[in-house]
Structure 1
Amino acid sequence: MITHLQARARDLNARYGHLTGVELLRPLIQTEFKGQLALVSSFGTESAVLLHQVAQIDRDLPVLFVNTRKLFGETLRYKRKLVETLGLSGVRELSPSVEAEQAHDRDGVLWRSNNTACCDFRKVRVLDAGLAPFAAWITGRKRYQATTRLELPLFEAAEGKIKINPLAGYTRADVESYLDRHDLPRHPLEEDGYLSVGCMPCTDRVAPGEDIRAGRWRGQEKTECGIHLPLTSPTNLVGAS
């Protein structure tokens, strides 16, 4: 049985599936989901593309950034630079609460023994709470990034919301071309071989010829932090700034 949200995702794909980038985002931000939409950004190596596109439409659009407190300092500095460069005024930084850290990871090394549990309380639960007021959210996922994303649609229904993937069809060459064409700043770790940047303990350099996400959870079967997987039992772990 098709749910109401699945039906809406199908309708959106039918009406907007031929569009991409700014042309796709403009009617979604200004009409379809006006006041009900947020962009989720990691401020990683490819994030500037989507942030730049949104800035051309609405610099006040809510941008949710999860600071797990395990990020590279370079990522935090890059975030500040992009916010200033693009004039983004709606950025909201979300982090696990101090109480949650004391309860789940008092010593700060949960990632060593159970990185899935670490991702869950530091990132997945925090973002879920931050997304609560919104009917839809924008992701930066692309089909070429991983085999698990090869069939990624522009619109999908998940966890009671519409997820929008405006760059789904972009290739790595498209990303590079866009960054160069608009003279956008690069993540400072990219030139050192970090092509996909997450939390510091679980991110490694990528060797020439490897998949762009090969450095994430190196040597493990884990390929996703959990944000784009079904959520399990709820808990309150968020602190916002």
Structure 2
Amino acid sequence: MPLKELAERRSILHRKNDAPTLLRHALDDMSIGPVAMVSSFGADSVVLLHMLSEIDKSTPVIFIDTEMLFEATLTYQREVADTLGLTDVRVIKPNRAALLERDVDGILHHFDPDACCALRKTEPLERALEGFGGWITGRKRVHGGARAAMPLFEKNERRIKINPLANWTTQQVADYITQHDLPRHPLVAQGFPSIGCQPCTTPAEADEDPRAGRWRGQTKDECGIHFADGKAIRGAA
């Protein structure tokens, strides 16, 4: 079955399922094949990571360490993985030779943020996803932009991308974290509702879009790891 049709059928099939049920079925879906969760261990990440730990702690979790993340994120990643008992967290870093060739001084983000994201995030993720038929994300429609019309399942190049929290609200996320007494990323309390690389992330005001602090002042609101119609999304939709 073509991947686009498979994604559309699964979105219809699971449209009334709650996120844990959708996640459980996606992990066992033979038509999709092996599935990994891709997590930034950011502001909301602990919700899906907790759901995953309740289903199968040995599911591969891919964490891209761009080598420009906040130190708080690196510490939080280790703490959450340990707290939830996740046994296959794969910390992926940029290719060393590529860094020396294309960003030896670590300043590429200043003049070409898209190229920096490709080098430090998109390319490492593509290598990490080899052998997987699908990957799970924590994206939500409430984030707006290119995410506003996001389906539960979508074709992403050669794989199926699974978005269990697509229709969740900010309040649902907060309630889940409270209900399960999950650790929050420490930067959330400092006004960071969305957390990426340190040079390209600023706090956001309460009345701003949650992702307003990402690449502030630029026509860019995605790192490029997500695709629409075969094209990497890096700017606002």
TM over 0.5: yes
Aligned 8 A contact 2:24 2:55 in 1: yes
Matched, 1:18 2:19: no
Give structure 1 regions of 4+ aligned residues with deviation exceeding 4 angstroms.
none
Matched, 1:67 2:65: yes
Structure 2 match to 1:142: 140
In structure 1, the partner of 2:188 is 190
Q: 1:78 aligns with which of 57, 66, 76?
A: 76
Tell me, in whole angstroms, the C-alpha distance in 1 between the residues paired with 2:12 and 2:190: 41
Q: Tell me the residue number matched to 2:235.
A: none
Note the residue ranges of structure 2 that are not aligned, 5 or more in a row: 233-237
Q: Which residue of 1 aligns with 2:122?
A: 124
What SS does the aligned partner of 1:61 have?
coil
Instruction: Return the offset for 1:23.
Output: 1.0
8 Å CA contact 1:119, 1:225 repeated in 2: yes
Asked if residue 98 in structure 1 is aligned to residue 96 in structure 2, the reply is yes
Q: Paired residues, what number?
A: 230
Q: What SS class does the counterpart of residue 96 from structure 1 fall into? A: coil
Aligned AA (2:96): V
- Residues 1:220 and 2:228 are matched in the alignment: no
Which residue is 1:173 aligned to? 171
CA deviation after TM superposition for structure 1 residue 11, in Å: 1.5
Instruction: Report the Cα distance in structure 1 between the residues aligned to 2:4 and 2:32, rounded to whole angstroms.
Output: 20
After TM superposition, the score normalised by the length of structure 2 is 0.94
Unmatched 5+ stretches in structure 1: 233-241
Could you say what secondary structure the match of 2:93 adopts? strand
Give the partner amino acid of 1:88. Answer: L
1:199-241 Cα offsets, whole Å, 9 max, x none, are 0000001012000000000111101000003468xxxxxxxxx
Assess if the C-alpha contact under 8 Å between 2:66 and 2:93 holds in 1: yes
CA contact (8 A) 1:5 1:162 kept: yes
Partner of 1:204: 202
Q: Do residues 47 (structure 1) and 45 (structure 2) align? A: yes
| Secondary structure class of the residue paired with 1:65 | strand
CA distance in 2, matches of 1:34, 1:144: 26
Helix, strand or coil: the match of 1:56? helix
CA RMSD of superposed structures (Å): 1.4
